[in-house]
Amino acid sequence: MTARRSLPLLVALLFAAASLHADAADSAEAAALLKFKNMIADPEGKLGSWVAGTEPCGGDGKGKGEWNGVICDDGNLHGLQLENMGLSGMLNVSVGALRELPDLRTLSFKDNQFSGPMPEVKNFAGIRNIFLSNNKLSGEIPDDAFQGMGSLKKVDLSSNEFSGPIPTSLARVPKLLQLRLDDNNFSGTIPDLRQKGLNLLNVSRNELEGKIPDGLRNVKEAFFDGNKNLCGEAVGNPCATPTPTPPQEPTPPQQSPGEKSIPVLALMAVASGGTIVVVGAIVVAVKRRREDVEVLGQPMSSRNSKKYTSFPEEKLERGALVKYEGSASGRKTGMAAGGSDQGRLVFVKEGRERFELQDLLRSSAEVLGTGNFGCTYRASLLNGPSVVVKRSRDMNRTGREDFEEHMRRLGRLSHPNLLPLVAYYYRKEEKLLLHDYVPNRSLALMLHGNGGSNHPMMFDWPVRLKIVKGVARAMAYLYEELPMLGVPHGHLKSSNVLLGESLEPLLTDYALVPVTNQSHAAQFMVAYKSPERKQFGRTSKKSDVWSLGMLILEILTGKVPAHDTQQGKESADLVDWAISATREERAGQVLDSGMSRTGNAEGEMLKLLQIALACCEERVEKRWEIKEAVEKIEEITEGGGDHSSTASELEASSSKPAAADDFSSIAIN
């Protein structure tokens, strides 16, 4: 009887033990995910369903789990799909918490703000898919980063800031099917990827060089775009063969000073005191050295048409998806849709007088300047207006179709304080952007003079306030019309603010981050000089606000900011200087002496100074949004009338309780 009674009890105990084991397993999964959550930032609360005391794979245990972004199958957690949630943090640190999930097969953190180096993934032995695209990950990836990952099939690291060589351990991943490394800063050669199942490879818009492995000869040419020094059958660019060193020739006779060799463009410039013929300037600028291109406008010879099946390319930051057809026929389709072909100007501004490329080539041109983004010419058409032609070799971040779509988007913009894009000319290695010519030149020249003069042109407070307001309105418009861009302008500085006939500001070189090579943008664009870029390796929506604040400080002080080394003058850290002066109750001393101070003008100037400092706040979370900055700027007046407010009075008032419309929220550090 005792044995018979103990049997049900034993069965019950076994069932209880199994249940406890299952609960422990579930609790371990929840603990691992909660640990991961606590190590990252979730400002939008997208992981609000991750709550202690609940289970990730609750409910029926199939498909999506109870916790947002958790993928389950038969009650087991198989994947994390945390995409486009605004998450941030050091992924290389936080991802270690996920090693407690033995059944994890997919990790997707696409379209977030994660930063830091490549997370260590080789310890996830069973992982099959890794998607980290469109984050702020950076640095070199260890060569053995993918060592021993026998189950790995898909890897997407595109649109980050990785640098250094592509890890050769990827060549030893036996089941690799898809690999996307595009839009990074990878350098060196491409590993010899010989996986038979590999059906997608994209390494475009990096800094790769050397011979493309023979096993990749059938990869579409578009997936190698933007790597200027690659050669091989896949890109139709034969690799140079080593040639024997020729016998050393006798040293030629020394030239006299009057016989020095001068580049062709320089000879043209000297010929007429700085005026050259565009047929020389632009043909030399855009003419390809490839053997299959002999004159400007000739199409490239056809390439190997046997390519992989196309796949959706992510379009300009985080916009909609388009199909990029890399074959010759695909390119023709894109050109027809865009209204362009090789050798033609494409007009994107409606209602503008059209002219042909040959009209441009026959016109005379004046070199306006050479900057970090190429050379700028003023072309005077024989039977038409003058246009400005900007030539760039650093706009290879996207393929042709995406580039043309972005140019059409810019052509649709219309604001009184934006210099409109009129037309463009596309070649794989050269781009020309055409704008209207503005006679008054730039704000930088008005502020700092020309040629390093010690006597800059002075203009008074009403004009400067008018310029600030126009710039702010244009920035607000860009934010509204281009919400898909992380930094809608990206390169706001005084030399990119032109002045019209009535000294109204006209912004130029805006919205070019999506088409500009990442390495070039990081080195030269103003938004990439922001504090968050220096501290965390990434820009933000407020990087343009910081640029606006720096520009306002430059306008108020007449000083060149430290990040702008092109002005040819001693630069200053305007933010530290202005903050120091404000603390020491001498804020009025930072204002340019060339500004008028009638009536209450100085009080209004100092209010604008505080707005500028709020826009330049180092901590992104405390920096103003563009909308708030524009609203405060619009409240500033010229300060006319009999009621004056001196700098000392304004500074003295800073110790009094703040009124509702005071700038008490400005954090000055």
Sign of the four-CA dihedral 201, 203, 208, 210 = positive
Q: Which residues of 109-140 are buried (b: 16+ CB within 10 A; e: fewer)?
A: bbbbbbbbbbbebeebeebbbbbbbbbbbbbb
Sign of the four-CA dihedral 179, 180, 182, 187 = negative
Q: Give the tens place of pLDDT for each residue, 69-92.
A: 898 877 788 899 999 899 999 998
Q: How confident is the model at residue 154 (pLDDT cuts 50, 70, 90)?
A: very high
Q: Give the tens place of pLDDT for each residue, 329-385.
A: 333 333 333 333 445 899 998 878 888 888 888 888 888 877 777 788 889 888 778
Q: Give the tens place of pLDDT for each residue, 420-465.
A: 999 999 988 789 999 999 888 889 988 887 533 343 445 789 999 9
Nearest-5° angle of CA 564, CA 569, CA 572? 60
Q: How far apart are CA 320 and CA 109, in angstroms?
A: 18
Residue 600: both structure tokens together = 């209450």
User: Which helix (DSSP H) or strand (DSSP E) does residue 178 occupy?
Assistant: strand 178-180
Q: How far apart are CA 16 and CA 496, in angstroms?
A: 73
- The mean pLDDT of 257-279, rounded to a whole number, is 37
Region of 446 (left: φ > 0; alpha: ψ -120 to 50; beta: rest) is alpha
- Amino acid in the structure at residue 568: G
Half-sphere exposure of 345 (CA within 13 A, CB side): 22
Q: Which residue, 186, 187, 155, is CA-closest to 171?
A: 155
Write the burial class of residue 319 (CB in 10 Å: 0-12 exposed, 13-18 middle, 19+ buried). Answer: middle
Mean pLDDT, rounded, of the chain: 75
Is 390 known as a binding-site position?
yes
Write the burial class of residue 42 (CB in 10 Å: 0-12 exposed, 13-18 middle, 19+ buried). Answer: middle
**3-state DSSP call for residue 493?**
coil
The bridge status of strand 129-131 relative to strand 161-164 is: unpaired
Q: How far apart are CA 176 and CA 232, in angstroms?
A: 23
Nearest-5° angle of CA 320, CA 322, CA 324? 150
User: Which helix (DSSP H) or strand (DSSP E) does residue 604 occupy?
Assistant: helix 601-615
Nearest-5° angle of CA 266, CA 396, CA 508? 70
Q: How confident is the model at residue 237 (pLDDT cuts 50, 70, 90)?
A: confident
Q: Give the tens place of pLDDT for each residue, 280-297.
A: 444 444 443 333 222 222
| Residue 602 predicted with pLDDT over 90 | no
Q: How far apart are CA 489 and CA 318, in angstroms?
A: 16
Q: Give the tens place of pLDDT for each residue, 296-320.
A: 222 223 333 322 222 222 233 333 2
Q: How far apart are CA 548 and CA 617, in angstroms?
A: 12
End-to-end CA distance of the chain: 83
Q: How far apart are CA 158 and CA 226, in angstroms?
A: 14
Nearest-5° angle of CA 159, CA 224, CA 115? 15
Secondary structure of 340-382 in HEC code, one letter for each residue:
CCCCCCEECCCCCCCCCHHHHHHCEEEEEEEECCEEEEEEECC
Q: Which residues of 513-551 are buried (b: 16+ CB within 10 A; e: fewer)?
A: bbbbbbbbbbebbbbbbbbbbeebbbbbbbbbbbbbbbb
Q: Give the tens place of pLDDT for each residue, 376-422.
A: 888 988 877 889 999 988 888 888 889 999 999 999 999 999 999 99
Sign of the four-CA dihedral 466, 608, 544, 568 = positive
User: Which helix (DSSP H) or strand (DSSP E) does residue 139 occupy?
Assistant: strand 136-140
Region of 194 (left: φ > 0; alpha: ψ -120 to 50; beta: rest) is alpha
Residue 264: its pLDDT value, please? 28
Q: How far apart are CA 120 and CA 146, in angstroms?
A: 9
Read off the DSSP letter of residue 509.
S
Q: How confident is the model at residue 219 (pLDDT cuts 50, 70, 90)?
A: confident
Q: Give me the domains of the chain, ranges plus CATH numbers.
A: 26-235 (3.80.10.10), 267-294+309-436 (3.30.200.20), 443-655 (1.10.510.10)
Q: Which residue, 345, 481, 332, is CA-closest to 400?
A: 332
| DSSP state string for 421-490 | EEEEEE-SS-EEEEEE--TT-BHHHHHH-STT-SSPPP--HHHHHHHHHHHHHHHHHHHHH-TTSSSSS-
Q: How far apart are CA 564 and CA 569, in angstroms?
A: 9
Q: How far apart are CA 130 and CA 128, in angstroms?
A: 7
Q: Which residues of 68-80 are buried (b: 16+ CB within 10 A; e: fewer)?
A: bbbbbeebbbbbb
Q: Out of 93-97, 586-590, 617-621, which region has the weakest mean confidence (pLDDT)?
A: 586-590
Q: Within a 10 A sphere around the Cβ of 23, how many other Cβ atoms?
A: 11
**3-state DSSP call for residue 305?**
coil
* Global pTM exceeds 0.85: no
**3-state DSSP call for residue 286?**
helix
| Residue 68 predicted with pLDDT over 70 | yes
